[in-house]
Chains A and B, each alone.
Chain A
Amino acid sequence: MSPAQETLLRRVEKVDGGLDSQDVATSLGVDHQAIVGAVKSLLALGDVISADQRSSKHWELTGEGCEIAEQGSHEARVVSSIPEEGMPQSQLMKLAFGKVGFSKAMSNKWIRLDKGHEGGPRIFKTVEHLEDLVRDKLLLVQKGQASQLEEKEKNELKKRKLLSEVTVKSYWITKGSCFSTTITKQETELTPEMIASGSWKEKKFKPYNFEALGVAPDCGHLHPLMKVRTQFRQIFLEMGFTEMPTNNFIESSFWNFDSLFQPQQHPARDQHDTFFLSDPAQAHEFPQDYLERVRKVHSEGGFGSQGYKYDWKIEEAQKNILRTHTTAVSARMLYKLAQQEKFTPVKYFSIDRVFRNETLDATHLAEFHQIEGVVADYGLTLGDLMGILHQFFNKLGITKLRFKPAYNPYTEPSMEVFSYHEGLKKWVEVGNSGMFRPEMLLPMGLPEGVTVIAWGLSLER
């Protein structure tokens, strides 16, 4: 605690009401700012003292006023500097106070001017003793007794630039609720030393500002969309689905379209909708017997189907594209499954990028993430598909579902999945689903009784 703070606290202790910081400064003979500083640091300690700011006006001598208080008014000094025999006017005017003092002394009739004197005009004093009222008034002000002067007098002195009125800001200091003369400074933070010495027990700690925000942690973040991907992945894993290898963005039209019984004239296969590759432009390896069965089911039918009855071309199937859906990978996986010695039921899923030839804007992306689930087993029903979708969406917190008949070249039946949006108060489409067509599954070599149900949705949605 500084000496100023200590003295201040002592004085506050002694008075009943309170005291003014300006008075304290005057009585201690120190600069007012030093007392203000002490007030402020005491305030920061909490409720030791309380202080209200107030302002007061008082009169002060100007520089010239101080000079007069010390040496007398100009006119008095003129009189006292003139000897009995008088003084030439020109000599008087050379003195610093000469000009002002001369005219004032003249009007007070303390001196007279003999213009006709030989050797030039000469001044003589006419009084021996004079009352220097100006000086007396200024001395009163200097002693802090300005109140004894009349307003008129003060204003006259102000006009002569001997006095000025100043506003002083000061504090009215009273005891606070935790007043003490022996306060200790509050600590800002707990330190290892305090813990070691146990000194924290005696210390007072500065209160925290709980309104302020904290410091941002110095860490990285995962991408929000990728976090959603992780959640979907988790849901599939919880439901016993195995992840498909979707790390092949470039796919042949064969696996992306033909194997899915999507005809070669289908609009999705237009340059307009799909990214084709110029390098490497073509795929060069296909399971030949399977390819032949695919050709046949498209162009002639078979496996119970009429087929599309058109001229199926290998050249179209060979064209490389950026896959338009991850179902291309599902087709590869189901073909692989069909090649097993004995069929085993499977549940597959994938979440990965797919591509569409779009121009980017607010509602169109050229690439987005498709989420897909596939179940292959004997005897699966449409009811099973709806049931499993119900469970899947339940895990996402979507409980109200309904299904709308739809069309998709490789699923039959096809169902659009709608969920009730509580916020929008309407049904919104959340995904697509269906049973893969026999024209897709049977050429692969899957057993006749096996049904494959599947659904897809977009991660971005």
Chain B
Amino acid sequence: MPTVSVKRDLLFHALGRTYTDEEFDELCFEFGLELDEITSEKDIISREQGDTKAEGASDVILYKIDVPANRYDLLCLEGLVRGLQVFKQKMEAPRYRRVSPASSEPQRLVITEETTAVRPHAVAAVLRNITFTQERYDSFIELQEKLHQNVCRKRTLVAIGTHDLDTISGPFTYTAKPPGDIRFKPLNQAKEYTAQELMSLYKTDSHLRHYLHIIEDEAVYPVIYDSNGIVLSMPPIINGDHSKISLNTKNVFIECTATDLTKAKIVLDMMVTMFCEYCEEPFTVEEAEVVYPDGRTCQYPELAYRKETLSADFINRKVGISESTEHIAQLLTKMCLRSEVMSDGEQIEVEIPPTRSDVIHACDIMEDAAMAYGFNNIPRTTPRTYTIANQLPLNKLSELLRQDLAAAGFTEALTFALCSQEDIADKLLKNISETRACRISNPKTAEFQVARTTLLSGLLKTVAANRKMPLPLRLFEISDVVLKDESKDVGARNNRRLCAVYYNKSPGFEVIHGLMDRVMQLLEIKPGQGNGYHIQAADDSTFFPGRCAEIFACGKSIGRLGVLHPDVINRFELTMPCSALDIDIEHFL
């Protein structure tokens, strides 16, 4: 969930009133936001770097507000205030309009064929006669960063570039070139670099190095030039220094390059709708024309208003309320979804503004109606769905056995299903190839290399962690291991196992054997060949030679028991003899 940090006093000023922290917290809760933290720059610095560093930092109160991940329209002060003001019915949602330039042709961005291979989409727009203040400017920069981190997926899907239009002249060309051929002075640098040099320069940049991988291995890098060959930006890495915006910038050219066109349009819409209120003619955005390699042209930003029609009955039925059509239309309007009751008095026409890209289905509209109504005002009812409960037979069996194993003096352990390859192979004197283990491709640590194929290693690790406890240690676990299995759609399956260990000064084979007898007794399987159970000597590298037996029940091999090999004991950093039982209980279903 993205967190937006806004200055409290600025926020209250924009909202036209002050709130206590509790009141504001309550308002956030209702609106689906969360007042996560109340802090200041000084607090943050002193917490992260110590009090001395924080000296002189601003102690203006900041509200850190958690915003739902799909509400890009609430990622800056401007959007938050607009959303809350409309919600509190202090203002009407503005209508955003795309306009043509008064006296000239629109700005043009020409996309060349070369971009297809690396970053094929671009959209653009102009904010004309905008007035920045320090706060507005900071918020403008901050919104780009928030969008980059969220909807832009760290610039992989979309990258935003903003430019002082008065320093450059169109038409602009969006193309892609070999890195050696791109040369310009990047933002906040003193000299020109080639793209290659830039990539190595930014290798150590704490911020930019995270984006290098997006184009690093490409043969050509995306780049935008103006008509005089000045570089506007090399997306998604860095803008040119020449066209950078400042507090004095009056006209802003915004370009978004992308691998996902839908997202690029959303991002552009967000950038312009959030800040066009500071234009000379508020809530208007000057169009720009994008020319595709095939000659097609498109006007941006789209600022599309979409209409959906739904019935009050639909909303009442889904939410569980019975409100009039008029009231529901009012509720939706509070959520920036301008709604009108249609002539039949039952249908509602809802207009979805360009800021609400999260609304893609009638159910999203229904949710907004429920939010505006107040979730906690909805009567709580009990569904009359009549069903009979059933336990999963495998879990039912496991539950019964767990109780009885504990009653038999063994204590239940709960161990991780993921482990290192060593845990299930080397330490148990097995070869990894014979384990049928599923491997994880991206573990952060060696503890999560494979899914376990046996419960034994987890239990032995538990014994090792409890060496100080009085002997004997008797542990068991009934849980799943994971084995490769070609017959399953995903190529693997779980297998429910029962594993127990007895750790003492003497191996206690008879103890673990007795436990196995008890399990069979509980399962109503009698000793004996055929339909009964019996054990017979077996070879298994995990066990001490001559001290391992295979368990057969109803003619099938279901597991092993025996005294562990001294090397196994050593490898788990244990010192005493230990016997173990390991059976597959799925046979007993």
Q: Report A's interface with B, CB cutoff 8 A.
A: 218-223, 225-226, 230, 233, 236-245, 247-252, 265, 267, 271, 275-286, 301, 303-311, 320, 322, 345-347, 353, 355, 357-360, 366-367, 375, 377, 379-384, 386-388, 390-391, 402-407, 409, 412-415, 435, 437-439, 451, 453
Closest chain A CB from B370 CB (angstroms): 5
How far apart are the CA atoms of A360 and B413 in the complex, in Å?
A: 19
Closest chain B CB from A233 CB (angstroms): 8
How far apart are the CA atoms of A347 and B45 in the complex, in Å?
A: 51
Closest chain A CB from B452 CB (angstroms): 10
Query: Which residues of A are found within 8 Å of B394, using beta-carbon distances?
Result: 245, 247
Contact between A439 and B451, CB atoms less than 8 A apart: no
Taking CB atoms and an 8 Å cut-off, the chain B residues in 346-403 that contact chain A are 358, 360-364, 366-367, 370-371, 375-376, 378-383, 385-392, 394-395, 399, 402-403
Could you show 30 A-B contacts with beta carbons less than 8 Å apart?
A219-B407, A222-B402, A233-B399, A241-B387, A242-B391, A243-B390, A245-B394, A247-B493, A247-B494, A249-B482, A250-B490, A251-B490, A265-B260, A283-B489, A283-B491, A305-B361, A347-B387, A353-B417, A353-B480, A367-B418, A384-B382, A386-B375, A387-B380, A388-B382, A404-B29, A412-B361, A412-B366, A414-B367, A437-B361, A438-B363
Contact between A279 and B361, CB atoms less than 8 A apart: no
Taking CB atoms and an 8 Å cut-off, the chain B residues in 61-101 that contact chain A are 68-71
How far apart are the CA atoms of A451 and B363 in the complex, in Å?
A: 11
Query: Which residues of A are found within 8 Å of B261, using beta-carbon distances?
Result: 309
Known: A281-B441, A412-B367. 7 other contacts (CB 8 A): A247-B493, A265-B156, A283-B489, A285-B489, A353-B480, A366-B418, A402-B376
B532 interfacial by beta-carbon distance below 8 Å? no
The closest CB in chain B to the CB of A378 belongs to B385
Contact between B375 and A403, CB atoms less than 8 A apart: yes
Query: Which residues of B are found within 8 Å of A252, using beta-carbon distances?
Result: 489-490
Query: Which residues of A are found within 8 Å of B29, using beta-carbon distances?
Result: 404
Query: Which residues of A are found within 8 Å of B376, using beta-carbon distances?
Result: 402-403
Query: Which residues of B are found within 8 Å of A238, using beta-carbon distances?
Result: 389
Contact between A286 and B318, CB atoms less than 8 A apart: no
The closest CB in chain B to the CB of A332 belongs to B489
Contact between B496 and A247, CB atoms less than 8 A apart: yes
Contact between A243 and B441, CB atoms less than 8 A apart: no
Closest chain B CB from A345 CB (angstroms): 5
B337 interfacial by beta-carbon distance below 8 Å? no
Contact between A322 and B440, CB atoms less than 8 A apart: yes
How far apart are the CA atoms of A118 and B403 in the complex, in Å?
A: 113
How far apart are the CA atoms of A377 and B413 in the complex, in Å?
A: 39
Taking CB atoms and an 8 Å cut-off, the chain B residues in 419-440 that contact chain A are 438-440
Contact between A377 and B385, CB atoms less than 8 A apart: yes
Contact between A357 and B443, CB atoms less than 8 A apart: yes
Closest chain B CB from A388 CB (angstroms): 6
The closest CB in chain A to the CB of B396 belongs to A243
How far apart are the CA atoms of A419 and B301 in the complex, in Å?
A: 44
- Knowing A345-B385, A381-B319 are in contact, say whether A220-B157 is a contact too (CB < 8 A): no
Contact between B405 and A220, CB atoms less than 8 A apart: yes
Query: Which residues of B are found within 8 Å of A241, using beta-carbon distances?
Result: 387, 389
A367: which of B317, B386, B417 is its contact (CB, 8 Å)?
B417
A412: which of B306, B364, B379 is its contact (CB, 8 Å)?
B364
B588 interfacial by beta-carbon distance below 8 Å? no
Contact between A276 and B492, CB atoms less than 8 A apart: no
- Knowing A248-B490, A284-B491, A384-B383 are in contact, say whether A277-B440 is a contact too (CB < 8 A): yes
Query: Which residues of A are found within 8 Å of B402, using beta-carbon distances?
Result: 222, 226
The 5 closest A-B pairs by CB, nearest first: A383-B320, A381-B320, A405-B32, A280-B491, A407-B68
Contact between A387 and B375, CB atoms less than 8 A apart: no
B204 interfacial by beta-carbon distance below 8 Å? no
How far apart are the CA atoms of A64 and B381 in the complex, in Å?
A: 106
Contact between B451 and A247, CB atoms less than 8 A apart: no
- Knowing A242-B387, A310-B260, A366-B418 are in contact, say whether A221-B412 is a contact too (CB < 8 A): yes
The closest CB in chain B to the CB of A403 belongs to B375
- Knowing A220-B406, A383-B378, A407-B71 are in contact, say whether A250-B389 is a contact too (CB < 8 A): no
- Knowing A219-B406, A237-B389 are in contact, say whether A280-B492 is a contact too (CB < 8 A): yes
How far apart are the CA atoms of A227 and B510 in the complex, in Å?
A: 29
How far apart are the CA atoms of A303 and B360 in the complex, in Å?
A: 11
Interface string of B241-272 (1 = CB under 8 A from A): 00000000000000000001111000000000
B36 interfacial by beta-carbon distance below 8 Å? no
Contact between A248 and B493, CB atoms less than 8 A apart: yes
B317: which of A307, A310, A379 is its contact (CB, 8 Å)?
A379
Contact between A384 and B320, CB atoms less than 8 A apart: yes
The closest CB in chain A to the CB of B494 belongs to A247
Contact between A439 and B361, CB atoms less than 8 A apart: yes
How far apart are the CA atoms of A403 and B451 in the complex, in Å?
A: 37
A219: which of B260, B409, B451, B493 is its contact (CB, 8 Å)?
B409
How far apart are the CA atoms of A346 and B34 in the complex, in Å?
A: 34
Contact between A387 and B383, CB atoms less than 8 A apart: yes
Taking CB atoms and an 8 Å cut-off, the chain B residues in 530-573 that contact chain A are none
The closest CB in chain A to the CB of B491 belongs to A280
- Knowing A280-B490, A283-B489, A383-B320 are in contact, say whether A220-B474 is a contact too (CB < 8 A): yes
How far apart are the CA atoms of A308 and B1 in the complex, in Å?
A: 19
Closest chain B CB from A284 CB (angstroms): 7
Closest chain B CB from A339 CB (angstroms): 15
Contact between B451 and A375, CB atoms less than 8 A apart: no
B410 interfacial by beta-carbon distance below 8 Å? yes
Closest chain B CB from A389 CB (angstroms): 8
How far apart are the CA atoms of A446 and B360 in the complex, in Å?
A: 20
How far apart are the CA atoms of A309 and B366 in the complex, in Å?
A: 22
- Knowing A220-B407, A223-B414, A387-B383 are in contact, say whether A413-B367 is a contact too (CB < 8 A): yes
How far apart are the CA atoms of A388 and B382 in the complex, in Å?
A: 6
Closest chain A CB from B138 CB (angstroms): 26
How far apart are the CA atoms of A221 and B477 in the complex, in Å?
A: 11
Closest chain B CB from A269 CB (angstroms): 10
Taking CB atoms and an 8 Å cut-off, the chain B residues in 13-62 that contact chain A are 29-32, 34
Contact between B383 and A377, CB atoms less than 8 A apart: yes
Contact between A222 and B440, CB atoms less than 8 A apart: no
B408 interfacial by beta-carbon distance below 8 Å? yes
Interface string of B333-345 (1 = CB under 8 A from A): 0000000000000
- Interface centre among B364, B387, B413, by most chain A C-beta atoms within 10 angstroms, is B387
How far apart are the CA atoms of A365 and B362 in the complex, in Å?
A: 37
Contact between B439 and A278, CB atoms less than 8 A apart: yes
Contact between A242 and B380, CB atoms less than 8 A apart: no
How far apart are the CA atoms of A386 and B382 in the complex, in Å?
A: 8
B153 interfacial by beta-carbon distance below 8 Å? yes
How far apart are the CA atoms of A439 and B442 in the complex, in Å?
A: 31
B216 interfacial by beta-carbon distance below 8 Å? no
The closest CB in chain A to the CB of B410 belongs to A220
Closest chain B CB from A146 CB (angstroms): 59
Query: Which residues of B are found within 8 Å of A277, using beta-carbon distances?
Result: 438-441, 492
Closest chain B CB from A450 CB (angstroms): 11
Closest chain B CB from A173 CB (angstroms): 45
Closest chain A CB from B352 CB (angstroms): 9
Contact between A276 and B417, CB atoms less than 8 A apart: no
Interface string of B456-487 (1 = CB under 8 A from A): 00000000000000000010100010101000
- Knowing A249-B494, A250-B490 are in contact, say whether A367-B416 is a contact too (CB < 8 A): yes
How far apart are the CA atoms of A285 and B413 in the complex, in Å?
A: 36
B201 interfacial by beta-carbon distance below 8 Å? no
